[in-house]
Structure 1
Amino acid sequence: MAGSSHGHTPAAWTGVIIAFIGFCVAGMFMVMAEPVGFWVSMGIVLLGAVVGGIMRMMGLGQQKHEHPANRPAEPAGAKS
């Protein structure tokens, strides 16, 4: 998708960074055989999705663009 800005927003970057940190910490706890720490870290991964979603609702995500194919067709004979 040339020219697309998909994922290049503060909401996307923040959500991915939080989830990545949670994933790395979960891996550390998995190696240390600490199940409680692992599951807390999995909660951090989910927190990344929640924070990214909230930031998107606040207007920090990519704006929705309507694709021309999804627009209703004009009635025959209508002039703009």
Structure 2
Amino acid sequence: MSQAVRTGAPDLDRDAIDYEKIKDPGHGNTPAAWTGVFLMLLGGVILAVGFVMVVDVIIYAGIAVFVAGPIIGLIMRAAGKGKPRS
């Protein structure tokens, strides 16, 4: 069995890559993003518990927390806690 050595794409022009632009892609590592994601995860857990227990109040509370996550994240971004728009 022969093994091929991969040296990269032959048509890749490494001089055309803007390394300063891709140095920090900013994958949402901001307080606004973390808060929004945490609230959505918490809402999903509450919602799952509500489904298992078959309690409507808990289900609606989970939906409310889940929907509040992105809204609060956007509010925090507008307040300066998120990544600025480019």
Match of 1:27 among 34, 45, 48: 48
Higher relative CO (Cα under 8 Å, sequence separation at least 6) belongs to: 1
Query: Given the alignment of the two structures, is residue 47 of structure 1 paired with residue 58 of structure 2, yes or no?
Result: no
Amino acid in structure 2 at the alignment position of 1:26: L
Amino acid in structure 1 at the alignment position of 2:69: G
When the two structures are superposed, what TM-score results if normalisation uses the length of structure 1? 0.73
When the two structures are superposed, what TM-score results if normalisation uses the length of structure 2? 0.68
Is the Cα–Cα contact under 8 Å of residues 6 and 62 in structure 1 kept in the other structure?
no
Amino acid in structure 1 at the alignment position of 2:45: C
Q: Which runs of 5+ in 1 are unaligned?
A: 66-80
Q: Which runs of 5+ in 2 are unaligned?
A: 1-21
Q: How many residues align?
A: 65
4+ runs of 1 displaced by more than 3 Å? none
